[in-house]
Structure 1
Amino acid sequence: MQRQWRRTAMSLMIIAALALGGCSSGNNDNKAAAPSEGTEAGDQTVSKEGFPIVQEPVKLKMFTRIAPVNGPFKEMPVFQDYEKMSNVQMEFIEAPTDGFPEKKNLLFASNELPDIMYRSNITPLEAVRYGAGGQLIPLEDLIKDYAPNLNKLMEEYPEIRASITTPEGHIYTIPGIVTLDSARTDKRWINTAWLEKLNLKVPETLDELYDVLVAFRDQDPNGNGQKDEIPLTSRVVGLPIVAAFSGSFGLDLQFGYNINITDDKVELWMGSERNKEMLMYLNKLYAENLLDHEVFSQTEAQYLAKQGSGNTGLFFDQTNNNFLPISDQYTGIAPLEGPHGDRLQSQGAPVPRDQGAFAITSINKYPEVSMRWIDYFFSDEGSTLLRFGREGEHYELVDGIPTYKPEFSTAETQPKLTPYAGGGAPHLISEYVGSYINPPQVQEAQKALNPYMPKIRYAAPMFDEATAQKVNMLRNDIDKYYEEQSTKFIAGSLSFDKWEEFQSTLKKMNIEELQQIYQDAYDKMAK
């Protein structure tokens, strides 16, 4: 891979120069710029609190992902108003979501860097590689001196610092931070209108759920005389149907992976008997047409359409935005108790949710200004501006909480207003700014999950580059194999008589070595 990268580096540089000619030239001889200990930016003082950040305007170039639903960043009120407040003028270099990783990689390969990487999903391996190579600068001292809001959050939630600090003690990227529990979990939305019509109670166990799904399939709850109801469905990407049911079998999802941590011991559970039991249960649902047969093939648009159709018995989503017109038909329920008494809410993201959302490059002449600039969005005030725009024009305070005016609360208008729509923007998502994604119905759904949430959700650890490359190599094979075989087990195209062969193959793929790497990472974090 390294030899191939070297062979193509020159062509990448040429392509990048043509495609991204608006970026700053990388005249930094590939060395990291040490954070300034003082408060001078050029010939002017950088304010450590209040606004403006600098007295004379500072211009910076920002490379950012832009989602298909978004409008131009320069037209968003948050960036228009914040430029006036801060005296920092941003030139936005926008790259579409489709093909974004390739464009991001071209920037680094060509060394044609902007000042700031924003909403860029810089992976832990990329952070270590580009940080050690001098293209991203270390941020830990800048955070200490120029990011009081971020510092406070890192003190309150130690898992944030642990998730972004390299083994060498450096921080190269800043994540999005989500302190609102309901913004980190998928709810279990069940069709209570159908339950009431069929005189059924909300299921509490997997056995009760099976009976409910059979009734949804057979008893015509939509009343049209046809067997067209969808008892249970789920998204496709990443095998989320497994994540939705794993907690009922005592299987957690720590480190963003199929990992249990019990008594300080890390277990990768893909080859475990508990996982076999879960896949057998899902196979039973699939074989009896209780689990949507399009669950491994449908598009996101098709899945969302099923939510809004009112013709689905049970599905999973963070909020109720996609089925608002029929939201009174659904209720969020607790995790189901499994055969061994397990009832864990294993689905869910950690507090540092959107990793690699912000970074400062070594060409940036104003790192202190840049850190002050981003830190504002980790306050409720800054997050409100980012998510809601201008008070009175775009939102109003309802019971003291920012709430979109009706004309800006639609799926069409909101993404033009804020970079938060489309995901991955580095900012604080707290209860104060969560009215759109955390309305009363979602709050009630979260209350059903809260008793079963883990005390801490560990984010993916930071590895040194050699270890990260090893993890990537192991996981590329193991994850692909696990997903392919699990899909076959569930769909019935692979017999469970092949389970020992499945376990043996995982061992041959060195799953035990991968488990030890995660164990070592946990041991370092636990010190």
Structure 2
Amino acid sequence: MQRLKRTVSLMSIAALMSTATVACTSGEEKADGNSPAAKTDSNVASSGFPIVEQPLTLKFFARKSPPNGPYANMLVFQEYEKKTNMKIEWEDVPQDGFAEKKNLLFASNELPDALYKAGITPLEAVKYGSSGMLAPLEGLIDKYAPNLQTLFKQYPEIKPAITAPDGHIYALPGIVTLTSGRTNKPWLNKAWLEKLNLKEPKTTDDLVQVLKAFRDNDPNGNGKQDDLPMSERNWDALIATMSGSWGLESQMGYQLEVKDDKVHIWVTDPRFKEYLQFLHMLYQEKLLDQEVFTQTETQFVGKMASGNIGFFHNQASDPFTKKKDDFMGIAPLAGPHGDQKVNANPVARDFGTFAITSVNKHPEATMRWIDYFYGDEGSIFFRYGIEGQTYNLKKDGLPEYTDEIWNDKRGTGTTIGQFSPWPGGGAPHLISEKNATAINPAEVQEAQTKLDPYMPKQVFGAPLFDEKTAKEVDTLRQDIDTYVAETTSKMITGAVGFDKWDEYVKTLEKMDLARLESIYQKAYDTNYKKK
């Protein structure tokens, strides 16, 4: 199992907070069970533990990822119940079919107290928030969420990215302040590079020459021409990972850039055409994986793990841990016009991970319950567990899972997933440099340093639209996105020639691409433009 996924599962053990010794930051509530509980409501403490003096029970509806065991059995939640005096009755639903059950939940109006790891979409947040099914959270955050308040101040782009047009916050995101957790790094097979006596590529033209050498000169030394020069996860990754070399920056969760406060969707831009022509050349020359549009996630991970690949992008090194010494991160390649940009995810990376419903009779306690995991201490507790049992502190003071966790025969992801819901992603918590050593090892840190000079100054998150506009955007994007993906994929493979480019542009114009751009422009002006 990948090292990243191993780390994720350990969050559950983190629950044994009574023995945790990690210090709180100044913006956090004190987690020491002996700290005094300052009361602001009849049964809810504004700080300290327990959260409530009189025990209470809440019902949570939660997504359960494949590596996860039953939530009720997770050590992190069992220990947190002791610490908070709050019992959670979990309805944990397997990932496959979760979206359908979530829809039925709202349709039947049989609501739990909260939705956890819920994957609530912006449209769902606005729809069910404005209809009164989801509770507004901003007032609760102001009074009962010091960790979230601190993050909002440090990263002002978070709040507008999760605030609905009516001014309310209906769902909390997963927050990633770890820069290396928000980028896909370009990894190059340095073992092949050294064997063939090649130099590290600096430009896209250099890359082509390196890939041709990988293709033709048997760098894996098995006497067969089975070396894979380059691959990417899928169409989305292929478009996003190197588009910055053509000056194309992805903002607001879409293929658009913002220059001088003007939004531009670039899927018809001449620079995008040039990029597609470059990818077509790679594909035709068999430098690019011929399965890039058909492979599964498992197949792509297997290719990374095998080490028999020359160049690809991935967030961390966990899929190829056993081959990590063969690879190195490189700087983004300079394109034909000198462009050298990196596309990155926003700090509020995962939207809609947690929401409180209107039937919840204890929203103050619930907010305090979840806020803990957005601080340093709580997030380490969530991901690593108990010092001396499931993790140890390294010399640099950062947590590291025990050998027993890493070497468990079940695989670390499954091992962690029995005591924490972290594996599978989408959990409501903070990922930072203080709690992510497993997904941010030395080679990943080094790879990120090569990207840092080319990072965007700010990454704008996908906007929340009012329900009417959201439905319009959804309708427009369903047609536009499908057409763009299908047609550009065919251009890359050669099934559609670039003599059809003008026709492609005119078709998108008829699909009202300009209207979609104007909607994003208004959202930018409202949420992000400096007044």
- Fold shared by both chains (TM-score > 0.5): yes
2:140 to 139, 142, 146: 142
Confirm whether residue 379 of structure 1 aligns to residue 382 of structure 2: no
Tell me how far apart the structure 2 counterparts of residues 194 and 416 of structure 1 sit (CA, whole Å): 39
Q: Note the 1:358-507 alignment, pairs <5 A.
A: 358-398=354-394, 399-409=396-406, 410-507=412-509
Tell me how far apart the structure 1 counterparts of residues 61 and 290 of structure 2 sit (CA, whole Å): 40
Classify 1:417/1:201 alpha carbon distance in 2 versus 1 (closer, same or farther; 3 Å): farther
Alignment check: 8 A CA contact 1:388 1:417 kept: no
The answer for the alignment partner of 1:274 in structure 2 is 271
**CA offset at residue 72 of structure 1?**
1.4
The answer for the alignment partner of 2:180 in structure 1 is 182
Confirm whether residue 283 of structure 1 aligns to residue 280 of structure 2: yes
Confirm whether residue 61 of structure 1 aligns to residue 59 of structure 2: yes
Alignment deviations for residues 414-467 of structure 1 (CA, whole Å, 9 cap, x no partner) = 222321110000000010001010011110011111111100000001111111
Tell me how far apart the structure 1 counterparts of residues 84 and 354 of structure 2 sit (CA, whole Å): 18
Confirm whether residue 155 of structure 1 aligns to residue 153 of structure 2: yes
Q: Is the partner of 1:234 in helix, strand or coil?
A: coil
Tell me how far apart the structure 2 counterparts of residues 446 and 123 of structure 1 sit (CA, whole Å): 29
**CA offset at residue 155 of structure 1?**
1.0
Tell me how far apart the structure 2 counterparts of residues 39 and 230 of structure 1 sit (CA, whole Å): 62
Q: Note the 1:29-48 alignment, pairs <5 A.
A: 39-40=40-41, 44-48=42-46
The answer for the alignment partner of 2:169 in structure 1 is 171
Alignment deviations for residues 169-202 of structure 1 (CA, whole Å, 9 cap, x no partner) = 1110000100000111111111000000000111
Q: Is the partner of 1:450 in helix, strand or coil?
A: helix
Tell me how far apart the structure 1 counterparts of residues 289 and 190 of structure 2 sit (CA, whole Å): 19
Confirm whether residue 193 of structure 1 aligns to residue 187 of structure 2: no
Tell me how far apart the structure 2 counterparts of residues 436 and 92 of structure 1 sit (CA, whole Å): 28
Tell me how far apart the structure 2 counterparts of residues 362 and 144 of structure 1 sit (CA, whole Å): 18
**CA offset at residue 96 of structure 1?**
1.0
Letter in 1 for 2:302: A
Alignment check: 8 A CA contact 1:407 1:413 kept: no
Confirm whether residue 260 of structure 1 aligns to residue 257 of structure 2: yes
The answer for the alignment partner of 1:354 in structure 2 is 350
**CA offset at residue 81 of structure 1?**
1.2
The answer for the alignment partner of 1:14 in structure 2 is none
Alignment check: 8 A CA contact 2:248 2:266 kept: yes
The answer for the alignment partner of 1:517 in structure 2 is 519
The answer for the alignment partner of 1:22 in structure 2 is none
The answer for the alignment partner of 2:246 in structure 1 is 249
**CA offset at residue 77 of structure 1?**
2.0
Confirm whether residue 221 of structure 1 aligns to residue 219 of structure 2: yes
**CA offset at residue 167 of structure 1?**
1.4
Alignment check: 8 A CA contact 2:43 2:54 kept: no
**CA offset at residue 75 of structure 1?**
2.2
**CA offset at residue 381 of structure 1?**
0.5
Tell me how far apart the structure 2 counterparts of residues 336 and 415 of structure 1 sit (CA, whole Å): 38
Q: Is the partner of 2:414 in helix, strand or coil?
A: coil
Q: What is the count of residue pairs matched by the alignment?
A: 485
Tell me how far apart the structure 2 counterparts of residues 292 and 208 of structure 1 sit (CA, whole Å): 18
Tell me how far apart the structure 2 counterparts of residues 321 and 88 of structure 1 sit (CA, whole Å): 35
Tell me how far apart the structure 2 counterparts of residues 202 and 225 of structure 1 sit (CA, whole Å): 24
Alignment check: 8 A CA contact 1:185 1:349 kept: yes
Runs of 4+ in 1 over 6 A off after TM superposition: none
Structure with the larger RCO, 1 or 2 (CA within 8 Å, 6+ apart): 2
Letter in 2 for 1:474: L
2:319 to 322, 337, 348: 322
Tell me how far apart the structure 2 counterparts of residues 464 and 199 of structure 1 sit (CA, whole Å): 57
Identity of aligned residues (%): 55
Q: Is the partner of 1:158 in helix, strand or coil?
A: coil
Tell me how far apart the structure 2 counterparts of residues 155 and 411 of structure 1 sit (CA, whole Å): 34
Tell me how far apart the structure 2 counterparts of residues 413 and 122 of structure 1 sit (CA, whole Å): 27
**CA offset at residue 70 of structure 1?**
1.1
**CA offset at residue 39 of structure 1?**
3.8
| Unaligned ranges ≥5, structure 1 | 1-37
**CA offset at residue 317 of structure 1?**
1.0
Alignment deviations for residues 467-491 of structure 1 (CA, whole Å, 9 cap, x no partner) = 1111111001000000001110111
Tell me how far apart the structure 1 counterparts of residues 385 and 488 of structure 2 sit (CA, whole Å): 44
Alignment check: 8 A CA contact 1:387 1:419 kept: no
Letter in 2 for 1:325: K
Letter in 2 for 1:301: T
Alignment check: 8 A CA contact 1:259 1:269 kept: yes
Confirm whether residue 296 of structure 1 aligns to residue 293 of structure 2: yes
The answer for the alignment partner of 2:236 in structure 1 is 239
Letter in 1 for 2:197: N
Tell me how far apart the structure 1 counterparts of residues 405 and 471 of structure 2 sit (CA, whole Å): 44
**CA offset at residue 363 of structure 1?**
0.7
TM-score by length of 2: 0.90
**CA offset at residue 345 of structure 1?**
0.4
Alignment check: 8 A CA contact 2:68 2:414 kept: no
2:332 to 312, 331, 335: 335
| Unaligned ranges ≥5, structure 2 | 1-38, 407-411
Alignment deviations for residues 117-159 of structure 1 (CA, whole Å, 9 cap, x no partner) = 0111111110010011110010010000000100110011111
The answer for the alignment partner of 1:5 in structure 2 is none
Q: Is the partner of 1:244 in helix, strand or coil?
A: helix
**CA offset at residue 97 of structure 1?**
1.0
**CA offset at residue 330 of structure 1?**
0.4
Alignment root-mean-square deviation, CA: 1.0
Letter in 2 for 1:335: P
**CA offset at residue 305 of structure 1?**
0.6
Letter in 2 for 1:445: A
**CA offset at residue 350 of structure 1?**
0.3
Alignment check: 8 A CA contact 2:413 2:423 kept: no
